[in-house]
Chains A and B, each alone.
Chain A
Amino acid sequence: MEKSNSMQNEKFGEKDFQNIVGNLLRYGVWTSLAVAFIGGLVYLMGHSADIENYSVFHENDRNIFEVVSDVYNGVIQWKGESLIFFGIILLFLTPVFRVLLSLFSFLLEKDYLYVVITLIVILIILISVSFGFSH
């Protein structure tokens, strides 16, 4: 009896949460695509005659902060390639925000088990960022 009651209380908060998460995902995708699309147009205007060769892979070894600062400089100079990259980074940030949002929501619900689980997921993502340094 008590269990079903608490489940129902949870559902109320969860409904709002579902809406917020749903909107976040949707607008996140559209914003990043719009940015990438503008970048694409700028890029094509500058490079329409070039034929790029992508059949050979150039391995890079830059850490994420170098990439981000490169992109930042490029966006200020209104470079198409950097604008596309900026869109892609926004796209990557969408699921990250989603995870942070769920952390917040579990904290509000006082569901500490899931606060810990969400923190583990965040930790793994951070580890994956730091792996870029060591290699």
Chain B
Amino acid sequence: MLLGAFLAGFIGSLSGLGGGIIIIPLLTVILGVDIHYAIGAALVSVIATSSGSAAAYVREGITNMRLGIFLEIATTIGAVCGALLSTIAPTSFIAVLFGMTLIFSAINSLRKKEEHIVLESSPLAKKLKLQGTYPSHNGEVISYGTKNVIGGFSMMGIAGMMSGLLGIGSGAFKVIAMDNIMKIPFKVSTTTSNFMMGVTAMASSVIYIQKGYIEPGICMPVVIGVLFGAMAGAKVLVKTNPKKLRLFFACLIFVLAVNMIYNGLNGKI
């Protein structure tokens, strides 16, 4: 299990999807663990990896903390709803929904990312002081504006719900909300998404603890494995060409996702 979790963290970090999204199919499809325990363990590992990596970005000043805290209202509400929903939803539904999210995230990770910087903020964004700056590679400070606060806020609610329901960080949804809707630069949106995950996951995990989703015997190897896997992945990522890797992992994840949907529909999970 430790090895599996290490692999999950490694793949998660290389593919840019995060460890949580890989650990759930691994535990359920391959090791036959009940999906509720898998969700609990994944959520704990999400908190560990996101807090760990957010630490570095926050110190470098890339993370937009105001934006993060403001959007946390949406994600925590969503997460609480999602966690409550997961306690009543049938497991087959969760498995199918998870499979679909997996496919969506895999396709999304292949999408081209271009840096776009909007200088002018929308009036609401100005009121909330959501515009900010971040340091570029060569140390110069780049400032950016923020658009469509309401659209981004609603999308964040959905992201939070997915996170609470499926035990994932749902980074893909968060980045879409900030990147595509609010027009925030990619570097800022990924790091801020990371920053928010801890609190979002925390909001739903409180409910999970009380419902017995969190099983120490599973969580411990998973968290440690995922964390070290993620660190190893980050080191390898610097040296390799991520494009080919991403394609490879996207295919792998696609297979896992189809497997989960199939098992879910057959009532095997």
Contact = CB atoms under 8 A, between A and B. Distances in A.
A105 to B, nearest CB: 9
Contact of B34 (A57, A82, A132): A57
Interface in A76-135: 80-82, 84-85, 87-88, 91-92, 94-96, 98-99, 102, 111, 113-114, 117-118, 120-121, 124-125, 127-129, 131-132, 135
A9 B45 CA distance: 37
16 contacts: A21-B55, A25-B55, A29-B51, A29-B52, A61-B211, A62-B210, A84-B216, A88-B44, A92-B206, A102-B65, A121-B72, A121-B73, A124-B76, A127-B80, A128-B76, A135-B84
Contacts of A14: 61, 65
Interface of B: 32-37, 44, 47-48, 51-52, 54-56, 58-59, 61, 63, 65-66, 69-70, 72-73, 76-77, 79-80, 83-84, 87, 128-129, 198-199, 201-207, 209-212, 214-221, 223-224, 227
A128 B203 contact: yes
A88 B198 contact: no
A18 B84 contact: no
Contacts of A33: 48, 223-224, 227
Interface string A11-43: 000110111011111101100110011011001
Given A62-B210, A102-B65, A124-B203, A113 B128 contact: yes
A84 B72 contact: no
Interface residues of A, number: 63
Contacts, number: 182
A64 B209 contact: yes
Contact of A88 (B79, B207, B216): B216
A52 interface: yes
B207 A132 contact: yes
Contacts of B210: 60-64, 67, 132, 135
B219 A88 contact: yes
A67 B206 CA distance: 11
Contacts of A15: 61
